[in-house]
Structure 1
Amino acid sequence: MDRPTRWTRATVYPDMWVDPADDPRNSDGVSPDGELPTLVDYLGRYRATLLMKCDDLDAEQLARRSVPPSTLSLLGLVRHLAEVERDWRGWITPGAVPPRLYGSADGDFEGAAPDPSLVARAFADLAREQAATDTALAAHPDPGERLGADGIAVRELQVHRIEEYARHCGHADLLRECIDGRVGQ
């Protein structure tokens, strides 16, 4: 099996993705005050990490599957996270559960094909669904408030979102290294 040579853009710390000055996740000053702003900040950092892991790849690379029989790909992860953002809104808003974006339960991964229009749609879907879920949760500033039919706490949903992105950023690390050898945090 051909393995790409490991590499990074970082010059300051060779185990990092980019140099600290070029990292969009770095911020000046202290961390946010309060529980909810801290959770939102962590979520934002994981979201940015996922996008960084997908940066500078073409449609074929984004859709490249990990190892058979897995359907895991970076594009599949983007589609999956758009799907779960939409699903999470269904947990907290009254009314019908929103329809799935990609059809069947595995449509987010199964349909991740190397088509530039599918790639563009996936990233647009992710941004739209993230914004919609963020907006829905912004109306509930008390982390202990319970929402939806199951009474999920805002805090619990935010932690679940962080967990989902963190887990998939780990997958994205491995997928990216298999694609072009790029490594780093």
Structure 2
Amino acid sequence: MSDEPARWTQATVYPDMWADPDNDPRHSQEPGPEGELATLQDFLAGYRLTLRMKCEGLDPEQLARRSVPPSTMSLLGLIRHLVEVERDWHNWISTGDPLPKLYGERDADFLGAVGEQAAVDSAFADLERAQATTDAVLAEHPDLNERVGKDKIAIRELMVHRIEEYARHCGHADLLRECIDGRVGQ
């Protein structure tokens, strides 16, 4: 007997997919977005949704489980981490005083990810709020060549960095989820 869960997927069409293509909310029959900004926003939205999908169906303890010791990383910790990252991006855009860390100093986003429903609900609400705030500020800057903030970062660089951050953490989420209950897929 092994303590490791058996690998499984909900997809019935392709065994390496998270969901069947007809049921995957990340896919549509519509043509892809037109233009660079719309394409970047579409990829970001897809990775954000993928991260949420990797968390679906798990209880608070599972979301907070540190599945790859000695790492402090968990799915809930990733959600909390991305709250802080969204706030950091807002700080990059702003010329005012930076937003303080929401969860505390270094690694508090991961260390404070505890298996309680209130912590889960709070983290997802915090993420939604932080994403909406950053998105709203960036909507005021549709020119990808525009440079903003104290460091004069280009909007294009910020958008690509956002996609990279979510994509990287979706990879972590794949491994974390598989360790929790064996579910796999793109």
Match runs of 1:25-104 below 5 Å:
25-104=26-105
Deviations 1:140-174 (A, max 9, x none): 01000000010000000000000000000000000
Q: Residue 3 of structure 1 corresponds to which residue in structure 2? A: 4
Please report how far the alpha carbon of residue 68 of structure 1 lies from its aligned counterpart in structure 2 after TM superposition: 2.4
* Map of 1:153 onto structure 2: 154
Structure 2 alignment gaps of length 5 or more: none
- Equivalences for residues 119-158 of structure 1 within 5 A: 119-158=120-159
State the distance in 1 between where 2:28 and 2:84 align: 29
Amino acid across the alignment from 1:114: G
C-alpha displacement of 1:29 = 2.0
- Aligned residues of 2:82 and 2:127 also touching (Cα < 8 A): yes
Identity of matched residues, %: 68
Q: What amino acid sits opposite 1:76 in the alignment?
A: G
- The residue identity in structure 2 corresponding to 1:175 is L
CA distance in 2, matches of 1:63, 1:107: 13
CA distance in 2, matches of 1:69, 1:104: 20
The reply to whether residue 16 of structure 1 matches residue 24 of structure 2 is: no
How many equivalent residue pairs?
Answer: 185
The C-alpha deviation readout for 1:109-162, integer Å capped at 9, x for no partner, is: 010010110000000000000010000000001000000010000000000000
User: Residue type matched to 1:48 in 2?
Assistant: L
Question: Matched residues in 1 for 2:168 and 2:120: separation?
Answer: 21
Contact 2:68 2:176 in 1 (8 A): no
Structure 1, unaligned stretches of length 5 or more? none
Residue 21 of structure 1, CA deviation: 1.1
